[in-house]
A and B are shown apart, each in its own frame.
Chain A
Amino acid sequence: GAVVSQHPSWVICKSGTSVKIECRSLDFQATTMFWYRQFPKQSLMLMATSNEGSKATYEQGVEKDKFLINHASLTLSTLTVTSAHPEDSSFYICSAVRDRGPRGNQPQHFGDGTRLSIL
């Protein structure tokens, strides 16, 4: 199967702390990964597209200096929330895509998510 591991599952920390979240594709290589944020009772909001070996592409309204993305290998992308504040509290979810197959676009496979609470 296509397994994506996300760590940590829960983070509770003080305002001003920087938090790093890891996303790993365990049994496939992923040139592209995505980072989403989800607030209660809302749908997924795409934050950025993470590309191995190049800069991430951020969605409109997402601060790239606040949400640092690094995709240094074909199996690992990290999201760092810098100087986190209570309004950054949310459910952060990553996804990974296997390289394009014969049918065209491959589905995104999601990690289990990270629940971030900033006090």
Chain B
Amino acid sequence: DAGVTQSPTHLIKTRGQQVTLRCSPKSGHDTVSWYQQALGQGPQFIFQYYEEEERQRGNFPDRFSGHQFPNYSSELNVNALLLGDSALYLCASSLNGYETQYFGPGTRLLVL
């Protein structure tokens, strides 16, 4: 049974560019949440997708957007990248969003 998968594993971008990160949830899960983890910090909640809609959002600007597909996979898009967007981006999946969240290995984004 495959767990949560994310791609790519690493990414280097320059300021002002746009990036798309991808996540496939654990089998049987229908909800995907995204978190940003800066170096030396705990993860910060970005948003959650359920039934292809954004259900809840954390304190992140509109430059951060997402999408969920009918197969429950999800994308995180970040526009107009800033140096401060450099972080590990974690995807977590769960059932209905009420159950335990299981995390993927993350995508490490470096903005130069």
Whether chains A and B associate is: no
